[in-house]
């Protein structure tokens, strides 16, 4: 069973963030593997193990100057990586990202594509479904558990009330939630092995994409960025025997009850 996992390299969330004049996140500093994607990598490794054979590969669009994040996925156990990196991709929106990743994934046969539900920096949550459409695959979102039975995929989809059980024929695309599995820590042996695993860097010309990419092809733009409102100080209430009523009244006022 061959599984492709989409992995995004993001600026370290622990470091201060800044934006360029076009409201794009400054990605010139250290990049790390988005924690959201460690779940997809782990899920893929477990599915390939359960299938008794096959390979996990990862694909990423972004910087090839710093590939430490992609190497982290290789250190966890993925066999190979493809990074699509090209100056002309700067300012790409989610749809262009999906077109680029679809072209990169379609170069080799696969049984399943995994992605996270949303990334930790852009978090539009739209890329995986666009990717499924472009690859002509069934798309199953919000997976909290994934199993493969023969050529059928069985997924539990997280919902507000519980979960839906969904099946689809392979190949398919699944976006997984955090918590679908517990991602492993890379072992020292894994980290050392990752240094020599194949990592292909492709440009736009290698993918034969039609139409403009990057800012020139983007139909979405971030038009403004505002700092999040500072957290307000809370109100203090002293219980004078009517604490429960006050809590209920407060919850009713914010329509929780």
Ligand X SMILES: Cc1cc2nc3c(=O)[nH]c(=O)nc-3n(C[C@H](O)[C@H](O)[C@H](O)COP(=O)(O)OP(=O)(O)OC[C@H]3O[C@@H](n4cnc5c(N)ncnc54)[C@H](O)[C@@H]3O)c2cc1C
The answer to whether residue 71 forms part of the interface with ligand X (CB under 6 A) is: no
Contact between 127 and ligand X by CB under 6 A: the answer reads yes
> Where does this chain touch ligand X (CB under 6 A) — which range of 4-12, 69-77, 152-160, 165-173?
4-12
> Quick check: 122 binds ligand X (CB under 6 A)?
yes
d(Cα 72, Cα 7) in Å, to the nearest integer? 10
Tell me if the bond preceding 129 is cis, omega within 30° of 0.
no
Residues 30 to 69 in contact with ligand X, rule: CB under 6 A:
34, 36-37, 60-62
**CB nearer ligand X, residue 123 or residue 250:** 123
Task: Establish how many alpha carbons lie within 13 A of residue 189's alpha carbon, considering only the half-sphere containing its beta carbon.
Answer: 1
Going by their DSSP bridges, the two strands 80-84 and 163-169 should be labelled as unpaired
118 binds ligand X (CB under 6 A): yes
Contact at 8 Å (CB) between 163 and 196?
no
**Measured from the CB of residue 105, what is the shortest distance to ligand X in angstroms?**
10
154 is a contact residue toward ligand X (CB under 6 A): no
Nearer to ligand X, 29 or 243 (CB): 29
| Contact flag: residue 119 with ligand X (CB under 6 A) | yes
Question: What per-residue string of b and e applies to 222-255 under the rule 16 or more CB within 10 Å gives b?
Answer: eeeeeeeeeeeeeeeeeeeeeeeeeeeeeeeeee
* Residue 116 binding ligand X, by CB under 6 A: yes
Q: Please say whether the dihedral angle defined by the alpha carbons of residues 135, 141, 143 and 148, taken in this order, is positive or negative.
A: negative
Residue 177 lies near ligand X (rule: CB under 6 A): no
Q: Can you state the percent helix, strand and coil of the chain, rounding each to 5?
A: 30, 25, 45
Which residue in 28, 124, 152, 159 binds ligand X (CB under 6 A)? 124
The residue of the chain with the least Cβ separation from ligand X equals 122
Is residue 89 close enough to count as binding ligand X by CB under 6 A?
yes
Residues that bind ligand X (CB under 6 A): 6-8, 24-25, 27, 34, 36-37, 60-62, 89-90, 92-94, 97, 101, 115-116, 118-119, 121-128
């Amino acid at each position: 069973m061959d599984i492709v996992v989409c992995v995004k390299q993001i600026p370290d969330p622990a470091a201060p963030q800044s934006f360029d004049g076009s409201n794009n996140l400054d990605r010139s500093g250290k990049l790390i593997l988005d924690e959201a994607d460690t779940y997809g990598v782990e899920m893929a490794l477990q599915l390939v193990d359960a299938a008794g054979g096959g390979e996990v590969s990862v694909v990423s669009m972004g910087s090839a100057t710093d590939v430490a994040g992609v190497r982290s996925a290789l250190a966890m156990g993925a066999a190979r990586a493809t990074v699509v990196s090209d100056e002309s991709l700067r300012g790409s929106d989610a749809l262009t990202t999906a077109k680029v990743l679809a072209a990169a994934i379609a170069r080799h046969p696969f049984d399943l594509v995994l992605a996270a539900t949303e990334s930790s920096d852009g978090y539009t949550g739209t890329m995986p479904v666009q990717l499924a459409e472009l690859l002509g695959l069934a798309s199953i979102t919000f997976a909290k558990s994934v199993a493969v039975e023969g050529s059928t995929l069985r997924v539990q989809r997280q919902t507000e009330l519980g979960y839906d059980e969904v099946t689809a024929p392979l190949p398919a695309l699944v976006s997984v939630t955090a918590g679908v599995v517990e991602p492993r820590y890379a072992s020292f042996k894994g980290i050392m092995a990752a240094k020599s695993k194949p990592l292909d860097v492709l440009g736009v010309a290698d993918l034969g994409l039609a139409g403009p990419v990057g800012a020139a092809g983007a139909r979405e733009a971030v038009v403004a960025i505002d700092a999040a409102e500072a957290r307000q100080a809370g109100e203090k209430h002293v219980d004078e025997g009517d604490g429960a009523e006050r809590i209920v009244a407060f919850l009713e006022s914010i329509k929780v009850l």
